[in-house]
A and B are shown apart, each in its own frame.
Chain A
Amino acid sequence: MNEQVAESEGVQLDAAVGSVEQASQALREAFPGKVRPDEREGYEGVIVDADALVDAALFLRDQLGFRYLSSVTGVDYANDGLLESVYHAYGAESGALVFKVQVGCGNPEIPSLVSVWPSANFQERESYDMYGIRYAGHPNLQRILTWEGFAGHPMRKDWREPYYEEEHKPFKTRHPDGGVFRAEDRNPFGRNVQYSPGFDPAKWEDIAQSAVYDGLMREVKEEGLQTETITVNVGPQHPSTHGVLRVVVVLDGETVVDLMPVLGYLHRNHEKIGERCTFPQIIPYTDRLDYICSMSNGLGYVLAVEKLIGIQPPERAEYIRVIMAELTRIVNHLMAIGFLWNDVGAYFTPVIYAFNERELILDLFEMVSGSRMMCNYMRVGGVFEDLPAGWMEKARALVYDRLPRFVDEFHRLLSENEIWRSRSMGVGILPAEQAVAMGASGPLLRASGVPYDIRRVEPYSIYDRFDFDVVVRHNADVYDRFLVRMEEMRQSLRILRQAMNQIPAGPVQTGKKNWTMKVPAGEAYHRIEAPKGELGFYLVSDGGSNPWRYHVRSTSMINLTPLAEMCRGHKIADVVVILGSIDITLGEVDR
């Protein structure tokens, strides 16, 4: 790809002033008495008073260069009667500056940071939905994963689900007295439901739908022909292959006036279930987050746990992890490109090409883990098993021969296509500034001219040992996102070749395998460059064998933040294309 640009030429984020330490020092000096260090054992960062939050955030962003707000989430410290909102902000080259705001459980209200970092938009809504923390000043503070009208805030520690059994796994027994019980049998309705006393369904007014339309902008034209706008629902069932996403679009003729993704149609309580599980029990659930990239998800999670415990996997396991993660990236990009083409109307032909190669990679996954999609292969302190006999040969044949040829062929087949170019060039522009402010990551960010790749800026595992380019392009449109993915597959192959040549022999697991483990108290946030972008895991441990808080910073959901921005002014047919170019998986969006 001759148009590829070396990373040094890309637009740089402002360099942060010094290290995170110095930054938090500067912050404390700028807001004496309002910002104090978090002194709990195993915690990092600072605690900011709610009334100083917006000023402190502006100071961080404008003076200290923390222009990327990665993650916002709530934590319920029920024992102290506190709700906490945790923020992780990054500068161009710096690590995370963690800051927190604490409020009492009674009337939790925190100023919203959407005006400072628009990337907080969906995340604050999620935190409101799950914890009931109200973010004052949020432009559209509605429930996001459950529906408007839902009773309670499910992630609160005192909220129990209808099939509640015990606080933590492992449960005592699911077959008392020799017989199995089904959760349905103990529920008076035989379903997974519960109602508060006095609830009368006959009198219920369904507000779930009407609430959705409230936050939408309806343009009133000053001059020209006065036309009426119409509101159209795309989804949750629709022929584009991005799962159960619903998008409400306000149209003037065929032109998009405003748009809002409505999420939650695949909300499966990943986090609540995670907090009931022991640390290793969560691993299979992570597979089902972004179900195309189960290996990467597992990797992100075990790295977070390892950070909390402070252990290192053996060398060989590190290499195996990188190999799996990069194979996953290839699978993901194949899918992303194939389905993107579906969306422009090349119905299933590129997908079928892509699936051919995916099948071969899935065969490799199946060999090591026993399952095609849900690999459940990463382990805290290593991987599940060593590579079976014959695996390397098969993988080499793919990586050295078949896949490079395929990527070239795919490129020839697609990139110069006239229709494709006219449908994708100049469509869905996302300028670099906006991309950073809205928390975009992964190929979406890099196609906007920001050479930000976590494998390079904050190398985890052993990524610092490999030679690869961070792919950047500058037109910030759908076509460039497509090309970034094409080229990233080549770079992944490059990493794979190096890893396969260097992989040493040895054990693949530190310590012994166990289904439960004690994890020291404290918090850890670990992010990886997943195929779709920045995937972060935030863990709080209270020293037991279950996480107190388990949060996934979901790439796909946050990458949806700029969707409205990108679509305004385009035709309705372009919405699906732009959506396809973001590359989302609903399992990860809604969790």
Chain B
Amino acid sequence: MTDELTHPNIPVPEDLKGTVTLATWEKFYNWCRARSVWPMFFGLACCAFEMIAMATSRFDFARFGMEVMRASPRQADLMIVAGTVTKKMAPQVVRLYNQMAEPRYVVSMGACANGGGPFKEGYSVVSGIDKLIPVDVYVPGCPPTPQALLHGFVTLHKMIENTKYKDMIWYHNRGQGEEFAIPVLGPDIFDPRQIPLIQSEAAKTPVAANDSE
């Protein structure tokens, strides 16, 4: 085991160095978790290609302990939202997120997932996946280079290492974490959480947004 795990204040006898590590349970636990993140194999658009490039020999994310990509959300703990989230796809993305087990993380990759990107002005693009599910790390770029994405992972690792396990859901026996509302494809996509707002707006506006300009 590496030195970084060993707690600096606890002395280890000289002849045991390299074989024995003394650390707090929390540190050890987070150290293990950070080095075994399993991403979900899930690409949306152009960015997915740089994600795959990151998995191949030149960049090789196996160096960070995450070579196993799982196609099933049940077996994954990291969702890389790699690409444009369209309105038609948004319900699926949220559903996949809901199916992941806690603790789960989301890396939003690229301008599109971060905020709509070059297609933001279009009518069928969700302006940022964080409107629907919580995001832990944002990676900018269009597409982000594989290096940038790796940097995103390192950032995520830091975040995991700094988690207090007392803050984790399982510690309080709080079950599987929150279910997020799945958007519905209506005349335009709508988020069930916004239903009251939509109803009150509909009562207010006498003309459609389309002709009001």
* A contacts, CB < 8 Å to B: 145-147, 149-152, 154, 158-165, 183-184, 188-202, 204, 206, 208, 236-239, 241, 243-244, 264-270, 272-273, 276, 284-285, 288, 291-292, 348, 351-352, 355-356, 358-359, 372-374, 586-587, 590
Contacts and interface: CB of A to CB of B under 8 A. Distances in A.
Contacts of B16: none
B124 A195 contact: no
29 contacts: A146-B88, A146-B124, A183-B121, A183-B127, A191-B194, A192-B126, A193-B190, A194-B208, A195-B187, A197-B202, A201-B192, A201-B198, A236-B92, A237-B96, A241-B52, A244-B92, A268-B86, A273-B119, A288-B118, A288-B119, A292-B49, A348-B55, A352-B57, A355-B56, A355-B58, A356-B58, A358-B53, A372-B145, A373-B50
A145 B186 CA distance: 15
Contact of B187 (A150, A189, A243, A351): A150
Contacts of A243: 43-45, 48
B46 A163 contact: no
Given A149-B185, A193-B188, A199 B198 contact: yes
B140 interface: no
Q: Report whether over half of chain A's contact residues are helix, strand or loop; otherwise say mixed.
A: loop
B46 A192 contact: no
B80 to A, nearest CB: 13
A191 B127 contact: yes
A201 B42 CA distance: 30
Contacts of B89: 236, 244, 265-266
B39 interface: no
A175 B85 CA distance: 26
Contacts of A359: 53, 56, 58
B209 A194 contact: yes
Given A239-B71, A288-B118, A359-B53, 10 more contacts: A160-B213, A162-B209, A193-B188, A193-B190, A244-B45, A268-B45, A268-B86, A269-B119, A272-B123, A284-B118
A225 B177 CA distance: 47
Contacts of A267: 86, 88, 124
Interface centre among B124, B125, B201 (most CB of A within 10 A): B124
Contacts of B187: 149-151, 195-196, 199
Interface size class of B (residues with CB under 8 A): 35 or more
Given A194-B209, A243-B43, A273-B119, A201 B186 contact: yes
Interface of B: 41-46, 48-50, 52-53, 55-58, 71, 83-84, 86-89, 92, 96, 116, 118-127, 131, 142-143, 145, 184-192, 194-195, 197-199, 201-202, 205-210, 213
Nearest to A239: B71
A201 B43 CA distance: 30
Given A193-B188, A236-B92, A291 B53 contact: no
A152 B211 CA distance: 13
Contacts of A192: 87, 116, 120, 123, 125-127
Nearest to A287: B46
Given A149-B187, A202-B199, A161 B122 contact: yes
Nearest to B198: A201
Contact of A268 (B55, B119, B188, B208): B119
Given A162-B123, A189-B198, A206-B184, A355 B41 contact: no
A197 B199 CA distance: 9
Given A151-B188, A268-B86, A291-B46, A201 B125 contact: no
